[in-house]
Structure 1
């Protein structure tokens, strides 16, 4: 017999509970927390209960399925999705989509399950499409795909998910044969039309009492409550309970700047209630999705020392051991990525042989397995890949996956594998990619318990599990429009849902009718002493949120735009504590923090670095220091590297290294042997091959080397032609040195120069690309450049901190290179793309090594050269003294250059903070 009991107020249920016999009846609830609380209530009254005394609706449906269709296995959504991807790939041609459409197809199965599993559901849907062509165009093909895939899952793979059970059970006519315990159904807004049909079928042989929520505003949720309307029409009787007048309560409606302010105020309010003598178990903090608040809320509550009923758990994927495990499996499976390679490699002992910067340069860009050969150590570790061909049985996958588990903590891997073994049978076979994808989904979803909740603590729960007779003081947080509305992942419109119910009788879950919003309004009318309703203008990431219509409608006269300041918490007290024992420390710490903030704002200077040893200096180091002292510090003190990445685009540094090595060989000559101009292409190719090996140049793809080598052969031939013509015109030219290295020591305090190491002196070294001579004691210094980018006219060298050629001239003029003496009369950047020479020359000495300037240049004189040397010497000594003192303040010459700086994340420059 089917009986309907209208419920206007949850307190009316107490009358029903008085006559409830847990030994002969089952009370059907929607969630685990409500089930537990009802069991405790029965235990307090009767001293005992049986397993069937209180059941979740989902447990009942699973039990019925097991008795009616034992061949079907209940599996998790992630496992069903893995099987679905396999089905989609195997039938991609017939279905018109592949595994990339898995999420969409799965959403349609979820949404259309009552139709898909109904005996003639698809036939009725096809007829309905004839009169609704627009809907057919939008989602008709997806409905067919969902039907085909659902049949594969049910009939071929014999699996089903929890959300599809009721839709599948509707096809059985003998449900009453497998269940004989009378039911009291208390599902509130969480009841579907299919579940209503099942309950009606069961009522043919047992008593079924359905508690129908009938608030005064039920017309607002007419579609959601349609199952109750159907049951009311089929019921044998309608029983009225004694009306209960709701008790008066305090109600507050608060608006906050964001979720963090909501959290702080909630914790502060809980503390106030506890101090006023309210028992912790009578207090509840409720949110539509409490997990969104829990990490922050738990930290605040822990600092206050407030016990909570909720278990403290962590995601398995948050554990480094699990992250490394998956990263290793992906890397071994050919799913190469720099992040996975980094995570799995730097956990190994061998990683100590490779600097992180080198690793990043080598493996930031990965394309195929062969890229692992860029480093011998990496290739050795990851050379053996997992065989990805064919179907892999469950036990074989588990065995291979476990072989890469490197942690001693076996509890975590047991949690993961237990889930896998529960869903997949021993004869389940999937391709390796699907097994790995399923394993990743388990690790992402599974949690492990860190600390059990306190049964007498504060109730912290989601909205759908929030009803509790004990919870008299309640705080509702997160009352935003976004959190109370479900998302529709299908193309069904609101009109489609209503037309389907009106035309063919299928009441699908309509996302426009939120059961969360319904439950919130129902809870608001439940008995309590003090309710607080909160809305935060932004979430924890700073995204703007819109208030829910429920929160807006709570109080017509409430100033909704008024922001409430959150109550203070224990953390606030710790920051502002005036206790004598802590005062001096807090003041000292506050002063330190204030000073660091001023440093970040540029209002206070950064401290000088205390140097244990003076760094090595080169021309480029001086330039980088003048460009920005922090760049110099990053390179010389912190030993950071900005190496070129091995990528499909060959970087300028690699091209430059090849060109320099090439020109060094081609310009070789001695007193007896002049420079050759008849190099054959084969000889030039061999020079390039040798240069590649010597410098250890790597390429993302070996096929990139051939066109690059060919390009440099052509460059060499053009270079030889130009040099031959140049030396015919300036016949006195002779190359004295190529890639000429030098090293000396300089004491910035005394200005003393020497070849031997001296305490408190800088070691200065460098290499000059090329030195030409006219054999009469005049020298020209050349620095190879691929283009004119970043090169200034010599009159702007000092202003723009382009000091490299001036540095080389200063070294030679100081006779710091023993076998290289003479007077420097020219400093040129040799642009080998156009074979132009740009720089400084002494016009009075032109003709033997270079031509005079076309226009009169007042700075092309020996006097100008001396001024250059004097100014450079001042800059050098001043810069070295700043370095010696440890000054590394981030003061870039041009702040625009910071946008491309490799170390901007570590920099404390005020304009970056």
Structure 2
């Protein structure tokens, strides 16, 4: 017999509960928390209960399925998705889509399950499509794909998910044969049309009492409550309960800047209630999805020392051991990614032999497995790949996966594998990629408990489990439109849902009719003492949120734009009470914050760095410091490296190294001009080997070598012509290294180290001589970009050639003596020489300038040396003092700076 009991207020249920016999009836609820609370209530009244006394609806449907169709295995959504991907790939040609469409197909199965599994569902839908061709064009093919895959999952693989059970059960006529316990159905807004039909069928042999929510505003959710309307029409009687006594409550409607402010205020309010003597289990913090709030909320509550009923859990995927495990499996499976290689490699002892910056340069760009050979150590570890050919049975996958588990903590891996073993049978076969994807989905969803909740603590729960007879002081957070509205992943429009219901009687879950919004309104009318409704303008990531319609309606007569300042929490007090002097702390803290603000604004100088050891200095280091002291500090103090990445596009540094080494070979005296192509190729191959140059693809080397052979030929032709015109030219030194020590205070130069002195080193690309004591210094450049005229060298801090001349003029290289009369950047793309020359010495090693240059004199050279020496000594003194303020000479360089995220330059903050 089917009986309907209208419920205007949840407190009316007490009258029904007084006549409820848990030994002879089952109370059907929608969620686990409500089930637990009802069990405690029965225990307090009767002292005992049986398992069937209180059941979740999902548990009942599972029981019915198990008794009616024992061949079907209930599996999780992730496992069903893994099998679905296999089905899609096997039937890709017929279906017109492959496994990449898995999410869409699965969404259609979920949405259309009531039609798919109904005996006449597809026939009725086809008839409906004839009247609605536009809908057929939009999603008709997707329905057919979803139906095909759903039937395959049930018939071929014998699996089903919990969401598909009730649609599947509607095809059985003997439901009453497998269930004989009278039911009291308390599902509120979480009842579907199919569930209502199952309950009606069961009522033919047992008593079924359905609690129908009948608030005065129920017409707003007419579509959602349609199952109750059907049951009412078929019921034998309608029971009237005593109306609930009218109660008054305090109600607050608050707007906050964001979720964090909501959390702070909620914790402050909970603490305030506790201080007023309200028991913790009489307080509830409720959100549509409490998991969004829980990580931060839990931290605040813990600091307050407030007990909560909710377990403290962590995602399995947050554990480093699990992250490394999955990264290793992906890397060993050929799913190359730089991040996975990094995670899995740097846990190994062998990683100590490879600097992180070198690893990043080698493997940031990956294309195929062969890229692992860029480093011998990496290649050795990952050379043996997992065999991915053919399907793999469950136990083989588990055994292979476990062989890469490196942690001593086996409890976590047991949690993961238990889920896998529960869903997949020993005979289940999937390709390795699908097994790994399924394992990843388990890890993403699984949680492990750190601390059990306290039964007498504050109730922290999601909206659908929020009703409690004890919790009379309630805080509702997260009342945003985004949180309360379901997302539609299919192409069904709102009109389609209503037309399907009206024309053929299939009431599918309509995202426009939110059961969360319904439950919120229902809870708002439940008995309570004090309710607070909160809305935050942004989520924890800063994304803007829009207020829910319900919150806006509550806020009638109030301004929606007024922001509430959250109550203070224990963390605020801790900040105020440092060393027990609140005011002093505030003043000191304010001064500290003010100083940091001044630093960020560039109005205060950063403190000097205390150097334990002076850094080594080169010409490029001086230029870098003058360009930006922070870049110098990143390289010399913090030992950061900006190594070019191994990529399909060969970087400029590699090209430059190749050209420099090539010219070094070709300018060996006596200089030859009859090099053969094969000889040049051998030189380049040798240079590549000596410099350990790596390329993303070996095929990049041949065209690069050919290009440099051509460069070598043009270089030799140019040098031959040049030396014919300036026939006394001879290359005196190539890649000439120097090293000495300099004390900037005394300006003392020495070959030996001493306290307070800098180690100065470098290498001059090339030194030419006319064999009469005159020298020309050459620095190879690939292009003229960024090179100034020599008159602007000091102003633009282009000091490299001046640095080299200063070293030689100070007689710091005993085997390289003479008078420097020329400083040139040798641009090997055009074979131009750009720089400084003494015109009085022209004709020996270079031509005179085409136009009169008043600075091309020996007096100008001496002035350069004097000014350079001043700049060098002043710069070394700044370095010695530890000055590293991020003050770039041009802020434009910050856009391409490798370390801009670590920088505190005012214009970057």
Note whether the superposition's TM-score is higher than 0.5: yes
Deviation at 1:583, TM superposition (A): 7.2
Deviates more, 1:236-245 or 1:434-443: 236-245
Show CA shifts across 1:121-144 (max 9, x none). Answer: 111111111111110111011000
Partner residue of 2:463?
Answer: 463
Give the whole-Å Cα distance in 1 for the aligned partners of 2:538 and 2:635: 41
* Residue 350 (structure 2) pairs with residue 354 (structure 1): no
Give the whole-Å Cα distance in 1 for the aligned partners of 2:484 and 2:584: 48
Give the whole-Å Cα distance in 2 for the aligned partners of 1:367 and 1:910: 39
Partner residue of 1:640?
Answer: 640
Alignment counterpart, residue 825 of structure 1, candidates 800, 817, 821: 821
Partner residue of 1:476?
Answer: 476
Deviates more, 1:901-910 or 1:592-601: 592-601
Partner residue of 1:485?
Answer: 485
SS state of the match for residue 702, structure 2? helix
Show CA shifts across 1:542-580 (max 9, x none). Answer: 111111110011142122211111111111111222874
SS state of the match for residue 264, structure 1? helix
Give the whole-Å Cα distance in 1 for the aligned partners of 2:569 and 2:884: 40
SS state of the match for residue 124, structure 2? helix
Show CA shifts across 1:249-294 (max 9, x none). Answer: 1111111111111111111111111111111111000000000111
* Residue 869 (structure 2) pairs with residue 896 (structure 1): no
Show CA shifts across 1:63-116 (max 9, x none). Answer: 000000000000000000000001101111110000000000000000000001
Partner residue of 1:59?
Answer: 59
Partner residue of 2:872?
Answer: 876
Partner residue of 1:15?
Answer: 15
Partner residue of 1:798?
Answer: 794
* Residue 218 (structure 2) pairs with residue 222 (structure 1): no
Give the whole-Å Cα distance in 2 for the aligned partners of 1:907 and 1:224: 55
Partner residue of 1:30?
Answer: 30
Show CA shifts across 1:341-389 (max 9, x none). Answer: 1111111111111111111111111111111111111111111111111
Give the whole-Å Cα distance in 2 for the aligned partners of 1:729 and 1:264: 83
Partner residue of 2:859?
Answer: 863
Give the whole-Å Cα distance in 2 for the aligned partners of 1:494 and 1:581: 61
Partner residue of 1:848?
Answer: 844
Any residues of structure 2 matched to 1:572-583 within 5 Å, and which? Answer: 572-577=572-577, 580=580
Q: Contact conserved, 2:577 with 2:585, CA < 8 A, in 1?
A: no
SS state of the match for residue 901, structure 2? coil
Partner residue of 2:270?
Answer: 270
Partner residue of 2:252?
Answer: 252
Give the whole-Å Cα distance in 2 for the aligned partners of 1:81 and 1:900: 43
Deviation at 1:594, TM superposition (A): 4.4
Partner residue of 1:733?
Answer: 729
Q: Contact conserved, 1:246 with 1:526, CA < 8 A, in 2?
A: no
Any residues of structure 2 matched to 1:381-780 within 5 Å, and which? Answer: 381-577=381-577, 580=580, 591-669=591-669, 674-780=670-776
Give the whole-Å Cα distance in 2 for the aligned partners of 1:64 and 1:129: 33
Deviation at 1:2, TM superposition (A): 0.5
Deviation at 1:606, TM superposition (A): 1.6
Q: Contact conserved, 2:29 with 2:187, CA < 8 A, in 1?
A: yes
Deviates more, 1:588-597 or 1:481-490: 588-597
How many residues of Structure 1 are paired with residues of Structure 2 in the alignment?
A: 909
Q: Contact conserved, 1:31 with 1:56, CA < 8 A, in 2?
A: yes
SS state of the match for residue 284, structure 1? strand
Deviates more, 1:753-762 or 1:697-706: 753-762
SS state of the match for residue 815, structure 2? coil
Deviates more, 1:104-113 or 1:760-769: 760-769
Give the whole-Å Cα distance in 2 for the aligned partners of 1:106 and 1:662: 61
Give the whole-Å Cα distance in 2 for the aligned partners of 1:495 and 1:594: 58
Partner residue of 1:42?
Answer: 42
Give the whole-Å Cα distance in 2 for the aligned partners of 1:348 and 1:593: 42
Deviation at 1:758, TM superposition (A): 2.5
Give the whole-Å Cα distance in 1 for the aligned partners of 2:782 and 2:467: 74
Q: Contact conserved, 1:484 with 1:548, CA < 8 A, in 2?
A: yes
Give the whole-Å Cα distance in 2 for the aligned partners of 1:530 and 1:334: 58
Deviation at 1:602, TM superposition (A): 2.1
Give the whole-Å Cα distance in 1 for the aligned partners of 2:539 and 2:889: 39
Q: Contact conserved, 2:419 with 2:442, CA < 8 A, in 1?
A: yes
Any residues of structure 2 matched to 1:180-195 within 5 Å, and which? Answer: 180-195=180-195
Using the size of structure 1 for normalisation, the TM-score is 0.98
Show CA shifts across 1:665-716 (max 9, x none). Answer: 11111xxxx3111100000000001100111101111111011001100110
Deviates more, 1:365-374 or 1:306-315: 365-374
Give the whole-Å Cα distance in 2 for the aligned partners of 1:583 and 1:380: 62
Any residues of structure 2 matched to 1:134-173 within 5 Å, and which? Answer: 134-173=134-173
Any residues of structure 2 matched to 1:328-339 within 5 Å, and which? Answer: 328-339=328-339
Give the whole-Å Cα distance in 1 for the aligned partners of 2:336 and 2:876: 46
Deviates more, 1:156-165 or 1:743-752: 743-752
Deviation at 1:754, TM superposition (A): 2.0
Deviation at 1:214, TM superposition (A): 0.6
Give the whole-Å Cα distance in 2 for the aligned partners of 1:398 and 1:99: 23
Deviation at 1:763, TM superposition (A): 1.2
Deviation at 1:582, TM superposition (A): 7.5
Q: Contact conserved, 2:196 with 2:227, CA < 8 A, in 1?
A: yes
Give the whole-Å Cα distance in 2 for the aligned partners of 1:369 and 1:579: 59
Give the whole-Å Cα distance in 1 for the aligned partners of 2:115 and 2:595: 67
Deviation at 1:586, TM superposition (A): 7.2
Deviates more, 1:630-639 or 1:678-687: 630-639
SS state of the match for residue 900, structure 2? coil
Q: Contact conserved, 2:770 with 2:844, CA < 8 A, in 1?
A: yes
SS state of the match for residue 164, structure 2? helix
Deviation at 1:591, TM superposition (A): 4.8
Using the size of structure 2 for normalisation, the TM-score is 0.99
Give the whole-Å Cα distance in 2 for the aligned partners of 1:270 and 1:279: 10
Give the whole-Å Cα distance in 1 for the aligned partners of 2:711 and 2:580: 77
Give the whole-Å Cα distance in 1 for the aligned partners of 2:769 and 2:428: 80
Give the whole-Å Cα distance in 2 for the aligned partners of 1:25 and 1:757: 93
Give the whole-Å Cα distance in 1 for the aligned partners of 2:246 and 2:142: 49
**RMSD of aligned C-alpha atoms?**
1.2
Deviation at 1:588, TM superposition (A): 5.7
Give the whole-Å Cα distance in 2 for the aligned partners of 1:141 and 1:489: 15
SS state of the match for residue 37, structure 1? helix
Partner residue of 2:125?
Answer: 125
Could you say if the C-alpha distance between residues 578 and 769 of structure 1 is closer, same or farther in structure 2, counting changes exceeding 3 Å? closer
Give the whole-Å Cα distance in 2 for the aligned partners of 1:43 and 1:569: 37
Give the whole-Å Cα distance in 2 for the aligned partners of 1:79 and 1:593: 52
Runs of 4+ in 1 over 4 A off after TM superposition: 581-594
Alignment counterpart, residue 887 of structure 1, candidates 883, 889, 893: 883
SS state of the match for residue 43, structure 1? helix
Show CA shifts across 1:434-475 (max 9, x none). Answer: 000000000000000000001001000000000011110011
Deviates more, 1:587-596 or 1:178-187: 587-596
* Residue 194 (structure 2) pairs with residue 205 (structure 1): no
Give the whole-Å Cα distance in 2 for the aligned partners of 1:243 and 1:908: 67
Give the whole-Å Cα distance in 1 for the aligned partners of 2:398 and 2:391: 14
SS state of the match for residue 309, structure 1? coil
Structure 1 segments unaligned to the other structure (5+ residues): none
SS state of the match for residue 869, structure 1? helix
Give the whole-Å Cα distance in 2 for the aligned partners of 1:299 and 1:252: 25
Deviation at 1:743, TM superposition (A): 1.1
